Amino acid sequence: MRILNLDGPFLIDGLQAHGHDVLSAGISARCDMVIRHPRRAMAVYKHACATGFRPDMVLYCDSGNLPYFPGVEELPCPTAFYSIDTYCNTWHFGYAHAFDAVFVAQKEHTPLFTAEGHRALWLPLFAKAAQDICRNEERDIPVAFVGTLSPKNIPDRKPFLESFRKAHPLFVATGAYVDIFNRAHIVLNQTAASEVNFRCFEAMACGAALLMEHSLHGLEDLFIPGEHILPLYERGNVREAVAIATAALADPDGLAALARRGQELVARRHTDRHRAKTLLNVMEPLLREKAHRRRLADLPRRRLLLAAAYGMLAEGLTAPHLRQHAAYFLNLARRLASRSGNASS
């Protein structure tokens, strides 16, 4: 199968591991077509076709960016949307009307998409395959955190980390995680909205024990606290998190065994290969049914819903450096609403 991957490159390796050809477009330097500004999805599709790569399906994999590929709803092949950062991008619910199927990273958000009339499925996040990220390193870091230290949407992160470090040694870094997670006994996770994020799976895949806050997004459907991950701490409760880490480090054999069980479980069930296979199993019947024909026949209604999503997005882009983007998406919303009215009149 030929798959055009838009935006995040997270599932490319998994899809290729199952023998599929993938062409990618997005802001990541890894993409085959790197873009810096919004570009019509149909223009990218036609460009791919001109190179001899006619997509059988299109996957839009959310990477927390603005929707840089408007017009996905017009594409002449089955399309899928993987919504990851739904908790801070509520416009995803409306934007999903551009697609034939929706995959949702956070379990509790899935019924919200279903209520909007989407064909939606919970598809948890994942780690890269073990051979890509596991190292045989000496574990010389008791507790580590790797991530953005002061993200605007997580104002309590920096105070939490600083308070933890005052009470217990904590190695904090940003950027690449692989080397650090392979050296850590415990990886501390602090999230935006108690979501089950990439860090959960990445830490475990690297052989570290995950120290995670309580989550409603399917964490305990995936892992058993005390068996695959450390006991959960109440969000923001530094004292409880420190107590769990201290007790675990006092039992090095037990900690190593728990980390090993977690690592083995991630390798068996929660890699990009597993998620790609699940996605493909859902999409293959849609390809056979030519499901995109139903979407194309429903364009007037979908354009109206997309206009609302783009309008909501534009309204939220209030920072001075995003004024041009706000104007772009507001204009796009107006054009879609106008086209919807013309097509249905």
User: DSSP string spanning 197-222?
Assistant: -HHHHHHHHTTPEEE-B--SSSHHHH
Other beta carbons within 10 angstroms of residue 173's beta carbon come to 14
**Does residue 136 surpass a pLDDT of 90?**
no
CA atoms lying within 13 Å on the CB side of residue 115: 6
Helix (H, G, I), strand (E, B) or coil at 337: helix
Stretch 30-50: mean pLDDT: 95
**Does residue 293 surpass a pLDDT of 50?**
yes
Stretch 277-281: mean pLDDT: 98
In the chain, the percentage of residues whose pLDDT exceeds 90 is 92
Q: How confident is the model at residue 341 (pLDDT cuts 50, 70, 90)?
A: low
| Of the candidates 122, 125, 116, 124, the residue with the CA atom closest to the CA atom of residue 95 | 116
Give dist(CA 136, CA 101) in Å, integer.
40
Q: How confident is the model at residue 62 (pLDDT cuts 50, 70, 90)?
A: very high
Question: What would the two tokens of residue 197 be?
Answer: 């994020």
Q: Side chain identity at 294, as an amino acid letter?
A: R
| Of the candidates 120, 79, 115, the residue with the CA atom closest to the CA atom of residue 99 | 79
Q: What are the pLDDT digits (tens) for 185-225?
A: 999 999 999 999 999 999 999 999 999 999 989 999 999 99
Please work out, in degrees rounded to the nearest 5, the angle formed at the alpha carbon of residue 41 by the alpha carbons of 95 and 276: 70
The pLDDT of residue 150: 86
Note the pTM of the prediction, 2 decimals: 0.94
**Does residue 343 surpass a pLDDT of 50?**
no
Tokens 């810096």 map to which residue? Answer: 36
Give dist(CA 133, CA 197) in Å, integer.
17
Q: What are the pLDDT digits (tens) for 66-116?
A: 999 999 999 999 999 999 999 889 999 999 999 999 999 999 999 999 999
The pLDDT of residue 134: 85
Q: Answer left, alpha or beta for residue 172, where phi above 0 means left and psi between -120 and 50 means alpha.
A: beta
**Does residue 345 surpass a pLDDT of 60?**
no
3-state secondary structure labels for all residues of 222-257: HCCECCCECCCECCCCHHHHHHHHHHHHCCHHHHHH
- Taking CB atoms within 8 Å and a gap of at least 24, the contacts of 103-110 are 103/279, 103/282, 105/195, 105/196, 106/195, 106/196, 106/217, 106/218, 107/196, 107/216, 107/217, 107/218, 107/221, 108/216, 108/217, 108/218, 109/83, 109/217
Give dist(CA 65, CA 213) in Å, integer.
26
DSSP letters of 157-183? Answer: HHHHHHHHHHHS--EEE-S--HHHHHH
Q: What are the pLDDT digits (tens) for 304-326?
A: 999 999 999 999 999 999 999 99
Question: What would the two tokens of residue 333 be?
Answer: 């919303």
**Does residue 344 surpass a pLDDT of 50?**
no
